[in-house]
Structure 1
Amino acid sequence: MSHTPFIAVEGPIGVGKTTLASMLAKELKLPIVHEIVEENPFIDKFYDNMETWSFQLEMFFLCNRYKQLQDTIQAYIYQGKPVISDYHIYKNLIFSERTLQGSEREKYRQIYHILTDDFPSPNIIVYIKADLNTLLSRIAKRNRSFEQDMDHQYLLQLIEDYETAMNSLAQHGPSIHILTIDGNSVDFVENSQHFEHIASQVKELMS
Structure 2
Amino acid sequence: MGDVPYIAIEGPIGVGKTSLAERLSSHYGFHLLKEIVDENPFLGKFYENIEEWSFQTEMFFLCNRFKQLEDVDNDYLQKQKPVIADYHIAKNMIFAQRTLKGDKLDKYKQIYDIITDDLPLPNMIIYLHASLDTLLKRIKCRGREIEKNIQPEYLAQLSQDYDVFMKQFKQKNPHIPIIQINGDQVDFVNRKKDLEAIIKQVDQKLMAYSL
Class of the TM-score when normalised by the shorter of the 2 chains: over 0.9
* Residue of structure 2 equivalent to 1:85: 85
Per the alignment, residue 160 of structure 2 pairs with 160
CA distance in 2, matches of 1:115, 1:172: 19
Alpha-carbon distance in structure 2 between the residues aligned to 1:200 and 1:26:
15
8 Å contact kept, 2:7–2:83: yes
Give unmatched runs, 5+ long, in structure 2: none
The match for 1:101 is: 101
Residue deviations 1:123-167, cap 9 Å, x none? 101100101000000000100112123111101100100001100
TM-score of the two chains, using structure 2 as the length reference: 0.95
Give identity over the alignment, percent: 51
Following the alignment from structure 1 to structure 2, what is the Cα–Cα distance between the partners of residues 3 and 168?
24
CA-based RMSD of the aligned residues comes to 1.0
Aligned length, in residue pairs: 207
CA deviations on 1:85-138 (whole Å, 9 max, x unpaired) are: 000000000000001000000100110010002111111011001010000000
Aligned residue in 2 for 1:206: 206
| 1: CA distance, partners of 2:3 / 2:96 | 30
Q: Distance in 2 between matches of 1:81 and 1:36?
A: 21
Corresponding residue number in structure 1 for 2:64: 64
Q: How many angstroms apart in 2 are the aligned matches of 1:30 and 1:99?
A: 34
CA distance in 1, matches of 2:46, 2:17: 22
Kept in 2: contact 1:169–1:176 (CA 8 A):
no
Instruction: Kindly provide the CA deviation profile for residues 67-95 of structure 1, in whole angstroms up to 9, marking residues without a partner as x.
Output: 00000111111112210000000000000
Shift of 1:175: 2.6
Contact 1:9 1:127 in 2 (8 A): yes
Shift of 1:2: 5.0
SS of match in other structure, 2:185: coil
Counterparts of 1:96-175 in structure 2 under 5 Å? 96-175=96-175
Secondary structure at the aligned position of 2:104 is classed as helix
The alignment's TM-score, normalised by the length of structure 1, stands at 0.97
Partner of 1:25: 25
Where do 5+ consecutive residues of structure 1 fail to align?
A: none
Mapped to 2, the partners of 1:173 and 1:3 lie a distance apart of 17
Runs of 4+ displaced beyond 4 Å: none
